[in-house]
Structure 1
Amino acid sequence: MAAPTPRSTELDPTYNARHLLVLEGLEAVRKRPGMYIGSTDSRGLMHCLWEIIDNAVDEALAGHGDRIDVVLHKDGSVEVKDRARGIPVDIEPKTKLSGVEVVFTKLHAGGKFGGGSYNASGGLHGVGASVVNALSARLDVEVDRGGTVWTTSFRRGVAGEFDGEGAVAGFTPAKGLRKAGRARKGVTGTRIRYWADRQIFTRDAAFNYDELVTRARQTSFLVPGLELVIRDERGDEVTEESFKHDGGISEFCEFLATDQKVTEVIRLTGTGNFTETVPMLDDAGHMTPTDVERDLEVDIAVRWGDGYETEVRSFVNIVATPKGGTHVAGFERALSKSFTNALDGTRLLKSGEEIIKDDVLEGLTSVVTVRLAEPQFDGQTKEVLGTPAASRIVAKVVQKELEAFLTSTKREHKAQARAVLEKVVAASRTRVAARQHRELQRRKTALESSALPAKLADCRS
């Protein structure tokens, strides 16, 4: 029997235009989903849900809507309902599509690019809803607007109509919105239900109820007056929880703290502005670098306790930034400087002693929030704020407000300020003593391990 011919492992030496692949519209999302949602496991599945929820929260931030419902259905789908203005249903002039179709089928399209609809928002890249649509086997939208209920559906990003329930129902492509009935007078809002595409997501990817509840609670603190209702219908028994907090980040700070308080919650608030150069379309359709004036609002809650752990939560327009960014860098820099300046006028710190950031962070619980239009994030997952000016503005606000508290002569502030200054000085001395102890142990270990002559053995101690 003749030996099999070995397969050639050589690459095609030619390289020309026919080797190039052009991905149109939402094809790029399905081809490389990790670029948009980070991964295709449970983490990516939850990220898609955050995108839809954050759009509803942005409406509440803009003053529209006071309730958001999230329902995890038995069939694996998830539904998000709000009572806001409703996605626009009129025709967008450039694409000749309805506002709903633009939002769900066009990347980098939406109302958060400086059009005046949102002063501050969690979504800014204009890819959230369209990415979720592209990665869904089925997505249904209902919009109450202008006294009419408008509806449409999508299959993997393509608009059309299903002939039954669920993601496996028959589908006919079709453009445009359909009238589904009349909305009650004065009622507006949006309902989105989608089935994640199992061709994209891993088999074990699932919505995490506990993570969803934690995020809902967090958001209710960040947007006072907004009610978020989470309902899980997947198990034998239906589970439902509701969150609404009018106390804002002060209440959030108290919720996060686990130790006995040394100070009450202190609010550090202020604003700043900066100039940012951004490319903008001119009348001829060309991108021109343009200087734009931006406002940045700073609102921070801090509280010191008698514990040793540090808890710092940071947010930009209600979007959590777990890996920090320029706003957190400015906050931490100002903390050290404020305490150093405040201690200069006291006798608490002896000559030669100094405090560092870790001394101030010990026992600190804080919630750092900033609001600005079109923030710069590192990537679509928005875990790190990159806007350079945020560091300077946050540091300035924190230093001014915190120093005023630490040096206040008001009775209600003076005792707390003294207590936290003493705590920070004590932390500094403990740190120095611990370092000296380690150095002594290191030297002792080095001597004991060295080979000394017998007549010098007694000199080791």
Structure 2
Amino acid sequence: MRRAGVHWIQEYARGVALAPPVGVGPATGSGTTITFWPDTDIFGATEHSFTALAERLRELAFLNRRLDISLTDERPSSTPRSTRFLFPGGARDFVAFLDAGAGAPVHPDVIGFEREDPRIAGTIEVALRWNDTREARLRSYANSAPTPQGGTHAVGLRDGLASAINTYARERRLLAEATPDLGADRIGDGLTAVVSVKLDRPEFSGVTLGTLDGAAVRTGVAETVRAHLGTWLRRHPEQAAAVIGRILGKRSPEE
């Protein structure tokens, strides 16, 4: 670790510090370097997969836009290789990456927004775009960890999408008064979306921590999506027409 002009070293074994940090000389800048060797008594496999590590580190770089990550394989038995991950666009870049090869985008812009919400003691970041496929791709994260079973942030995303789309469609009289609101499943067709929340006190259900809890998170995400997506739709009428037309199953909502 480099801090306040000093290079510090500390060694651990199975999560326990073997000794206090020791200053070993001067240092410039700041940061922490972790050298890790897997314990064969703990891990079933100790051979690391470059592909698996790269996938996870790429994901972390997408979710933390100022994070610059480099991965180098220096194993004697492997072909030397190195890669770097840095994505200034954050979740927007993540959606564009997930969308690559998935089909033609319905609208060119990746819609993205970020908001601090004191009610959840954290931040909300969302990015999304529709394409001309039928598949929905939704990735959800809490404190940069994937939540495979979703949770309140994913439900809040769907709530906000349905509210913003239906409000806009009715304002523009694209839905008849007697027509029911468009459902979240229909709105989600062809949608690629990432929702990431960073919370001081996250709550999870299940032993695997794969589902995020917290009613305030659902409300906060829903309100954020409704407000920001609604504003985007009104400011980009041509792209909004393409989105509504895609959801209604027409080339344009006027057809």
Mark yes or no: TM-score above 0.5.
yes
Where does residue 231 of structure 2 map in the other structure? 404
Distance 1:299 1:157, change over 3 A: closer
Maintained 8 Å contact 1:348/1:422? no
Q: Which residue does 1:189 correspond to in 2?
A: 31
1:216 aligns with 57
8 Å CA contact retained: 1:269, 1:401: no
Structure showing greater relative contact order (alpha-carbon pairs closer than 8 Å, 6 or more residues apart):
2
Q: Residue deviations 1:217-247, cap 9 Å, x none? A: 1222222232111111233321111111212
Name the TM-score, length of structure 2 as normaliser.
0.84
Report the residue type matching 1:154 in the other structure: Y
Counterpart residue identity of residue 267, structure 1: G
**Structure 2: distance between partners of 1:380 and 1:229:** 32
**Residue 330 (1) aligns with residue 156 (2):** yes
Residue in structure 2 matched with residue 144 of structure 1 by the alignment: 2
Deviations 1:272-293 (A, max 9, x none): 332xxxxxxxxxxxxxxxxxxx
**Number of equivalences:** 245
CA–CA distance in 1 between the matches of 2:227 and 2:6? Answer: 52
Partners of 1:299 and 1:158 lie apart in 2 by 35
CA distance in 2, matches of 1:302, 1:158: 42
Pairs within 5 Å for 1:164-313: 175-179=19-23, 181-184=24-27, 186-202=28-44, 204=45, 206-234=47-75, 235-257=77-99, 258-263=102-107, 264-274=109-119, 294-313=120-139
How high is the TM-score relative to the length of structure 1?
Answer: 0.49
Q: 1:316 to 1:156 in 2, by over 3 A?
A: closer
Match runs of 1:48-197 below 5 Å: 143-157=1-15, 159-160=17-18, 175-179=19-23, 181-184=24-27, 186-197=28-39
User: 1:381 Cα shift?
Assistant: 5.0
**Rounded Cα–Cα distance in structure 2 between residues aligned with 1:403 and 1:158:** 50
Determine if the alignment matches structure 1 residue 422 to structure 2 residue 245: yes
- SS of corresponding position for 1:194: coil
Residue 297 of structure 1 and its aligned partner are, at CA, apart by 2.4
Could you say what the CA RMSD is over the residues aligned between the two structures, in angstroms? 2.4
| Identity value in percent | 31
Distance 2:15 2:123 in 1: 37
- Other structure's SS at 2:182 match: coil
Q: Structure 1: state its 5+ residue gaps.
A: 1-142, 161-174, 275-293, 428-461
Matched, 1:345 2:189: no
**Structure 1 residue 417: deviation in Å?**
0.8
Q: Distance in 1 between matches of 2:16 and 2:125?
A: 42
Match of 2:204 in 1: 377
State the AA in 1 paired with 2:247.
Answer: V
Deviations 1:393-445 (A, max 9, x none): 11111112222333x1x4xx111111111111128xxxxxxxxxxxxxxxxxx
Structure number with bigger Rg: 1
- Mapped to 2, the partners of 1:268 and 1:416 lie a distance apart of 17
What's the CA shift for 1:378? 3.4
Q: AA paired with 1:371?
A: K
Instruction: Name the counterpart of 1:131.
Output: none
Report the 3-state secondary structure (helix = DSSP H, G, I; strand = E; otherwise coil) of the residue aligned with 1:424.
helix
